Amino acid sequence: MSRFVPGPVRVTVPATSANLGPGFDTLGLALDLRDELEAEICGDSLQVEVLGAGADDVPLDESHLVVRAMRAAFAAMHVDPAGLRLRCHNRVPHARGLGSSSAAIVGGICLARALVAGGTLLLDDEGALQLAAEMEGHPDNVAPALLGGFVISGADGDRFWATRASVDPRISAVVFIPPTPVATDVARGLLPQSVSHLDAAANAGRAALLVASLAGSPERLLLATEDRLHQSYREPAMPESLALVRALRADGHAAVISGAGPTVLVFGDGPALLERCPEGWVAHHLAIDTAGVQVIG
């Protein structure tokens, strides 16, 4: 009996925004902007097709991130398919702080799992989280991509953990995406090695308030999204983004840098905020995605 299911199998996986101001490397939110991936086991070679974001930039061989994630998941399930066909339709922009790499990793892992008979028994969601976070290096984007919604995550030794928290249904987000990318390693390289206890305590309080605000007190989101740990240090890599964050916050809007940037995320009224989009940027009003990665066929 074949250990693989008849293909093709399709998966959709959401964009994510991490940090959300004070929740550096800890808080993440899934957004209703989805990549679509399709794969099947066939032949004895690898075929990769990419449409949409990154189509002209990503490799079409074994180094493609979705393929690497699929191979890692297959190995975890102790199977090794001879041939693989993969088609990616990317809507999550690359190198913009909206979790494109996490979407690729989680999507690839769940594609591989869906292609194996009994895959969810061989690699459950806990195992998928561990594998995805190991590949990404941290869980704050992969956890909401996998689970959906608002997720608090971290590491305990060499194990990663994640738990969902409530989101008030009144809350949605607007993202302003600039035309120029910023690599995550560049943005992270601007951070200092240490910060003051005063700043750390301020961020801890704001992060706790943010959990409560997203659950049911959206009127507190402006205060709850204040940050002292990472955003201002990254300004040399994304000055226009920080300028937009400050302008929006001065007008009472809960604006933050999304992930490592340079996208700006704002909690608030979509139609009014869309008018604040800078020239040459792209804006989306997005619902909070509550489903996470989905196998759709």
Residues at the annotated binding site for ATP? 93-103
Tokens 């992060």 belong to which residue? Answer: 207
Query: Could you tell me which residues are beta bridge partners of residue 41?
Result: 84
* CA–CA separation, 72 and 88 (whole Å): 18
Tokens 């206890």 belong to which residue? Answer: 197
- Per-position DSSP letters for 183-237, written without gaps between them: -HHHHHHTS-S---HHHHHHHHHHHHHHHHHHHH-GGGHHHHT--SSSTGGGGGG
Instruction: Enumerate the known binding-site residues.
Output: 93-103
* CA–CA separation, 105 and 69 (whole Å): 5
Tokens 């690497």 belong to which residue? Answer: 68
Q: Are 177 and 258 in contact (CB under 8 A)?
A: no
Q: By C-alpha distance, which of 292, 295, 272 is closest to 143? A: 292
Give the distance, in angstroms, between the CA of residue 79 and the centroid of all CA atoms in the same chain: 28
Residue type, 165: A
Helix or strand holding residue 123 (H, E): none
Q: By C-alpha distance, which of 143, 131, 138, 133 is closest to 188? A: 138
